Amino acid sequence: MKDQILDAPPGVQKQLKYAGFWIRFAALIIDTLILSVAYGVVVFLFMDGFNNPEPPVLPIILLTVVGIGYFTGMESSSRQGTIGKRAVGIKVGKANGKQISFPNALGRYFAKIISGAILYIGYMMAGWDAKKQALHDKIANTYVFYE
């Protein structure tokens, strides 16, 4: 019931207000700062306080898993967004605003590689697309919208 417009007949969903490029970019900056601290701790612990010029394989794998887990776990959770997204008041969801599944979030995460590989044009698409979808959102059939 909370998703209903008060004056609308029952069963009518509220209209989502899609989040564009700049607000999503702000969320990414916050998430990057958070992950940088976590990465710094892991690097410091596993690489002899930044003195080891040869990074061992275990920390690289651990950092990759932490990054993937952060984005996919939080975006598929009931909160529907990372700390950065929540801080700026946006969520990731389906067309109806509902929560996405973990496999859907994982596919969205890996689709970001394509968004970045084409000179970041896939990310910039959120600035001009009618529903503010980046390429990875189109691939994963997800939307980013204001709470």
Find, among 1, 23, 41, the residue nearest to 92 by Cα: 23
- Write down the domain spans for the chain: 21-45+54-146
Between the CA of residue 144 and those of 9, 10, 97, 132, what are the distances in Å? 26, 25, 9, 8
- 91-125 pLDDT, tens digit per residue, is 999 999 999 999 999 999 999 999 999 999 999 99
pLDDT of 49-68, one tens digit each? Answer: 566 666 677 778 888 899 99
Q: Is 11 left (phi over 0), alpha (psi -120 to 50) or beta?
A: left
Confidence bin at 11 (pLDDT 50/70/90): low
Report pTM.
Answer: 0.82
